[in-house]
Amino acid sequence: MTAPDRATLRWLFRTMVTIRAFEEKHMQEVNAGKPIGGGHSSIGEEAVPTGVCAHLTERDFVASTHRGHGHCIAKGVDVKGMMAELYGRATGACRGKGGSMHIADVSKGMLGANGVVGSNLPLATGAGLTAKLRGQGQVSVSFFGDGASNQGTFHESLNLAAIWKLPVIYVCENNLYAESTPVEYSTAVRDIARRAVAYDIPGLIADGMDVLDVYEKAGQAVERARRGEGPTLLECKTYRYFGHFLADDPHRYRTKEEEESYRARDAIASFKKRALASEWLTQAEMEAEEQRAQALMDEAVRFAEDSPPPSLDDLVTDVYVSYPRIKV
Ligand SMILES: Cc1ncc(C[n+]2csc(CCOP(=O)(O)OP(=O)(O)O)c2C)c(N)n1
Ligand SMILES: [Mg+2]
């Protein structure tokens, strides 16, 4: 594969280090006992949302999961608003009412993180139908886990998208575990991409620890969708370095050797090596990006801490039913 242009390479690096810095800051704040919500760390998986979203614009749709911070950042959601959301503040992406698992920003095409495993596949499929009916070349992406690929919604969504030729990219983040359940215990196939055969659509596999491989395979899927040829299932083989959720999972269901073998292939560290060797980016440019990400997180925490909580009146705004004015 020929390398993407310099601006894209820089964006890929910037996005991966921003995701990692956000996740590290969140973990630090939770461990320090700050009164903020926990969540599910995606450290180790940064290459997947980055390589996929590099092909999208604000007009394309993304439907995300419980492990959604990386998807939001790669799709352009404001990091300060995300941090304020974790702090439950009125300035948060969802005015402090959603928290980690419900961050959304429709203006950026981010339809939302989602706490119900497997529930975003039909949402992305519906957004794909919208895109097809509008006929303006938009595409829709669903990110979901290996565990979610065993939900009925996975099969229903892929079948519908296949018969209607919807512009949807189904991106399976296969990190080998659903909570503590190993994928080989719960899943009949070794490569989840093989399930594409059942719907007569392409099933691609990318190395989810290599942002350029994800970028290349996702590019094929997005181009196919924009040409009106229908959906693709893209499986990215990846790994989360920490427990299923923050704070309380000692991850005893897997070995230290397995963890170390993935950390040794860390997506950010290997990109750096390659970028230096190939003279894509300089050491100084990459250090500047890392410092920028750290500074952004400090600023985001300050912004969140200085923001007010939602008011009591906000309890009855943004709900489905328009209540008569309830005095709270
Ligand atoms: C419908 C539903 N069932 C169970 C859960 C509890 N739960 C939350 S995350 C999770 C595991 C999901 O695994 P996977 O899809 O592989 O995503 P990962 O956490 O590995 O990113 C489960 C079972 C849930 N939130 N929703
Ligand atoms: Mg998983």
Q: Would you say residue 326 has pLDDT above 80?
A: no
Residue 119: phi and psi, rounded to 5, are -80, -15
Ligand 1 atom nearest to 244, measured from its CA: 19
Q: What is the pLDDT of residue 322?
A: 62
Ligand 1 atom nearest to 45, measured from its CA: 21
pLDDT tens per residue across span 40-77: 999 999 999 999 999 999 999 999 999 999 999 999 99
Q: Tell me how many domains the chain contains.
A: 1
Ligand 1 atom nearest to 175, measured from its CA: 20
CA of 299 to the centre of ligand 1 (A): 32
* Among 55, 85, 51, 88, CA closest to 69: 85
pLDDT tens per residue across span 202-247: 999 999 999 999 999 999 999 999 999 999 999 999 999 999 999 7
**Does any domain span residue 321?**
no
**Containing domain of residue 161, as a range?**
6-316
CA of 292 to the centre of ligand 2 (A): 30
Q: What is the pLDDT of residue 327?
A: 56
Q: What is the pLDDT of residue 65?
A: 98
Neighbours of 185 (CB within 10 A): 9
pLDDT tens per residue across span 127-180: 999 999 999 999 999 999 999 999 999 999 999 999 999 999 999 999 999 999
CA of 150 to the centre of ligand 1 (A): 11
> What is the band of 288 on the pLDDT scale with cuts at 50, 70, 90?
very high
* Among 237, 164, 244, 241, CA closest to 199: 164
Nearest ligand for residue 43 CA = 1
Q: What is the pLDDT of residue 309?
A: 95
**Does any domain span residue 246?**
yes
> What is the band of 317 on the pLDDT scale with cuts at 50, 70, 90?
confident
Q: What is the mean pLDDT of the chain?
A: 95
Pick 189 or 318 by higher pLDDT.
Answer: 189
Question: Looking at residues 110-122, what average pLDDT do you find?
Answer: 97
Q: What is the pLDDT of residue 323?
A: 58
**Does any domain span residue 328?**
no
The proportion of the chain whose per-residue pLDDT surpasses 70, expressed as a percent, equals: 98
Pick 34 or 191 by higher pLDDT.
Answer: 191
Cα(123)–Cα(157) distance, integer angstroms: 9
**Does any domain span residue 325?**
no
Cα(206)–Cα(232) distance, integer angstroms: 13
**Does any domain span residue 247?**
yes
61: which strand partners? 140
**Does any domain span residue 322?**
no
- Give the CATH number for residue 107: 3.40.50.970
Q: Is 117 in the pocket of ligand 1 (CB under 6 A)?
A: yes
**Does any domain span residue 1?**
no
Question: Looking at residues 305-317, what average pLDDT do you find?
Answer: 91
Q: Is 147 in the pocket of ligand 1 (CB under 6 A)?
A: yes
The amino acid occupying position 317 is T
Residues 6+ apart with CB under 8 A from 297: 21, 22, 24, 25, 79, 83
**Does any domain span residue 93?**
yes
CA of 222 to the centre of ligand 1 (A): 26
CA of 117 to the centre of ligand 2 (A): 10
